[in-house]
Amino acid sequence: MAKAARPCGWAVLVLSAAALAGCGAAAPGAKTTAGAAAPAFNAAEFGKLAARVSDLERQRAQADQGVAFLKPSDPSFHRISTGMGVLALSVADVSAYANGSRVLLNLGNPMSAVLQGGTARVEWGRVDPSGDPTGQVFSQEATFAADLPGGSWGKVELNLADVPPNELGYVRVADVRFKSISLRAAN
């Protein structure tokens, strides 16, 4: 019985090194400008991009864990995983209410089931200049009074004490649960 041929690890390494050796060199006949100035590095723009990337990575990780980190000034939708499936969530409006804020959320149900008796844990507070939560964290259990039909949007109103709209930096929604679901009867 003949042995199957195996590529030698060192041969692959040598061939790879040879292929990469010319990566930094100019192509034959290419003209280069000696002493050409590199493009200016804009630290402020880089900082904004780095913050946005960090924000997107945090949103993605939290969505997979059933958490949505919403910023009142950001109208974009966030996905949040629940025991029933994935929902869409965004801030529709923020207004003053008593000693705090009234936040109206858009809650989207892309599934075909009607979700009933919803609850969630809601946290809110202020943020520092870099957008990270700072200071006291407030929390409450929220209840969704209305059913959320499949393939539709619903509104959830939250009255959040102690942080007025001009100071409200974030609303974090987690542990979204529903008491029951309703499906159409089979034909």
> For residues 139 and 125, is the Cβ–Cβ distance under 8 A?
no
Report the predicted TM-score, pTM, of the whole model to 2 decimal places: 0.66
Q: Is the pLDDT of residue 162 over 90?
A: yes
Helix, coil or strand: residue 97: strand
Amino acid at position 26, single letter:
A
Q: Which domains does the chain have, with CATH numbers?
A: 66-182 (2.60.40.1620)
CA distance 78 to 60: 9
State pLDDT tens for residues 6-64: 444 434 333 344 444 444 444 444 454 555 555 666 877 877 777 777 777 766 665 55
> For residues 138 and 123, is the Cβ–Cβ distance under 8 A?
yes
Amino acid at position 38, single letter:
A
